[in-house]
Amino acid sequence: MRQRVPQSPFCYEPGALTDRRLLKLLPVERWPTEAEAKASRWFSPVRVGPHELQERTWVPAMVPWRATDEGFVTPGVLSWYERFAQGEPGAIVVEATGIRDIPSGPLLRAGHDRYVEGLARLVETVKRASRGRTRLYIQLIDFLAIKRRPTKEAFFGRFFKGPREVAEKLLTADEETIARTLSPRDLEAYRFGLRERVTDTHLPHIAELPRVLPGLFAAAARRCLQAGFDGVELHFAHAYTMASFLSALNTRDDGYGGPRENRVKLPLEVYSAVRAEVGARIALGCRFLADEIIEGGNRVDDAAFFGVQFARAGMDFLSLSRGGKFEDAKQPKVGHAAYPYTGPSGHECMPTTAVAAPGPFGRNLPAVADVKQAVVAAGFATPVVACGGIATFQQAEDVLGSGGADVVASARQSLADPDWTKKVREGRGAEVRRCFFTNYCEGLDQAHDVVTCQRWDRLKGLPDDATVPRTKDGRRMVAP
Ligand SMILES: Cc1cc2nc3c(=O)[nH]c(=O)nc-3n(C[C@H](O)[C@H](O)[C@H](O)COP(=O)(O)O)c2cc1C
Ligand code: SF4
């Protein structure tokens, strides 16, 4: 039986008295009335490039693993975004969508014209469901190859490129001997699975990234424009190719690595190529890291420098995330790939209530404010989007009021309750189903499983209610 916990002066949802997870959340003294919400900053419009967002609420990119294996939009993708759109936020950013036409599992793709039709259906769905109130952006991503952690037999039998006799010896050697014998890179491939880096310039396809990526991003963005998206967010964050170019760990010696002026060169070239392709018809910005968190990685002064460069180049918005890198990820199990949200930088990216002080709420905000300040000081009004553990009205108002950001995004709180900002706007904040910040959803993402939320995926008394669409195993509802 759950223990009863003491009465709280704050307003939690029903059930708080018996669920300790709710008591770990930021207390809400009082949700705003409808009139207060209407007069607030968060629910006021903001200009982003060619258009206005009706309010400064924003659902950032979240991969739900609902596309086909060929990267097409499915009914599951449509209903996922339809559900967020019914909550009528100012903007929704569609999940990281691949710019190449290569197999990449059930992730959306924009790497060929055949994807335009499905993406156009997605745009129509969101416009209809939000009654035209929500602007729809899409995040475009490039990533390098990462292999699953091999068995010892597979590694020394097939992958290891060293002399055969060494491979044969190591096959029966203990872990300490293996660690002493292999090069750091081979050891990493053995322990974690092979992972390409932007610094692997001995590989022709890595060396040529600066030559091919601007065109690939531009062509994908053109398809998104054709599909009717209001905006494109270039994914320059987390563990992926473009963030790795920005990273202080990028030591390429071809003019695209080393000092930060060089590291920002390719991201700026990608931006220019995309802009040349889509013009000023859509909002074009990027997501990047306010802090990489990893040892030797970018800190907030690097992020401030990049932010100013992006603003000067003419980006329409700057969205800031935090951490989420491979460099400090946990060792995966054999047969699994490393996941960039399992180490300290991952815990900063999607912080839970178990994270160290000051806890998960608004953890990225001081760094975001520093970037915003640098952009303003350089004379630019480019809107800055803050994200990370923001799940109450007061947090959003405080960020906007202090000038630390212009738009406030919430990922997991929107997943827990896609209507949450609408409820707050209508003075019904007490009805918000609050996110527990314990990352059940992130565990599903890690397993590349259909993402749902523990706060609603079994609400209607599964397994008897056969009317609700469910995951393949029949155990979870796929939408709230
Ligand atoms: C299931 C899941 C999938 C995500 N997928 C993406 C993604 O595709 N691109 C991205 O930039 N961030 C992604 N994120 C990170 C979120 O956009 C956000 O930065 C992070 O969850 C912290 O914000 P929050 O505290 O409001 O949840 C994902 C987060 C979750 C929980
Ligand atoms: S599963 Fe739901 S409640 Fe838990 S962290 Fe994710 S969004 Fe929040």
pLDDT, one tens digit per residue, over 103-136 is 888 999 999 999 999 999 999 999 999 999 999 9
Candidates 389, 408, 391, 410; CA nearest to 399 is: 408
Mean pLDDT of 268-280: 98
Helix runs in 66-161, H state only: 75-86, 116-129, 152-154
Tell me the average pLDDT across 341-360: 93
Judge whether residue 465 has pLDDT over 80.
no
- Structural domain range at position 164: 152-192
- Ligand 2 in reach of 439 Cβ (< 6 A): yes
Pair 156, 234 in one domain: no
One domain, residues 167 and 278: no
Q: Look at residue 141 and tell me if it is in a domain.
A: yes
Let me know whether 117 and 254 are in one domain.
yes
Same domain, 182 and 79: no
Give the CB-side neighbour count of residue 145, counting CA atoms within 13 A: 12
71 lines ligand 1 (CB under 6 A): no
Q: Quick one: 106 and 168 in the same domain?
A: no
* DSSP single-letter state for residue 425: H
Q: Find the ligand nearest to 62 CA.
A: 1
Q: In angstroms, what is the span from residue 454 Cα to ligand 1's centroid?
A: 16
260 and 232 in a single domain? The answer is: yes
416 in contact with ligand 2, CB cutoff 6 A: yes
Expressed in angstroms and rounded, the spacing between residue 471 Cα and the centre of ligand 2 is 17
Residue 435 forms part of a structural domain: yes
pLDDT at position 7 is 41
Look at residue 13 in the predicted model and tell me its pLDDT. 59
Are residues 304 and 252 part of one domain? yes
Tell the burial category of 174 from Cβ atoms under 10 Å away from its Cβ (0-12, 13-18, 19+).
exposed
pLDDT band of residue 1 (cuts 50, 70, 90) is: very low
- Residue 374 near residue 301 (C-beta atoms within 8 A): no
Mean pLDDT of 346-364: 93
Q: Are residues 177 and 52 in the same domain?
A: no
Could you tell me if residue 332 is inside a domain? Answer: yes
Q: What are phi and psi of 6, to 5 degrees?
A: -65, 155
Are 334 and 273 within one domain? yes
Q: Rounded CA gap, 262 and 334, in Å? A: 37
- The reply to whether 170 and 318 lie within a common domain is no
Q: Do 175 and 303 belong together in one domain?
A: no
The closest of 279, 256, 258, 278 to 268, measured between CA atoms, is 256
pLDDT in tens, 44-85: 999 999 999 999 999 999 999 999 999 999 999 999 999 999
Q: What is the mean pLDDT of residues 222-247?
A: 98
Helix (H, G, I), strand (E, B) or coil at 217: helix
Report how far residue 217's alpha carbon sits from residue 234's, in angstroms, rounded to the nearest whole number: 8
Q: Does the residue 472 lie in any domain?
A: no
**Confidence tier at 15 by pLDDT (50, 70, 90):** low
Rounded average pLDDT over 439-468: 86
* 349 CA from centroid of ligand 2 (Å): 14
Query: Does ligand 1 come within 6 angstroms of the Cβ of 387?
Result: yes
Residue 358 lies in a domain: yes
The angle that helices 116-129 and 209-227 make with each other, rounded to 10 degrees, is 50
> Is residue 171 domain-shared with residue 36, that is, in the same domain?
no
Q: What is the pLDDT of residue 12?
A: 52
pLDDT in tens, 20-45: 888 889 999 899 999 999 999 999 99
Domain count, the chain: 2
* Whole-number Cα distances in Å, 97 to 162, 239, 387, 453: 37, 15, 20, 22
- State residue 104's pLDDT score: 87
Average pLDDT estimate for 309-335: 97
pLDDT at 426: 98
Domain finish residue from 161, 192, 223: 192
By CB atoms closer than 10 A (0-12, 13-18, 19+), residue 143 is buried
Pick the more confident residue, 327 or 474.
Answer: 327
Q: Please check whether residue 24 lies inside any domain of the structure.
A: no
Establish if 381 belongs to a structural domain: yes
Domain assignment present for 11: no
Mean pLDDT across 409-421: 98
When pLDDT is averaged across residues 126-149 and rounded to a whole number, the result is 97
What residue type is assigned to position 118 of the chain?
G
For residue 110, the domain's CATH number is 3.20.20.70
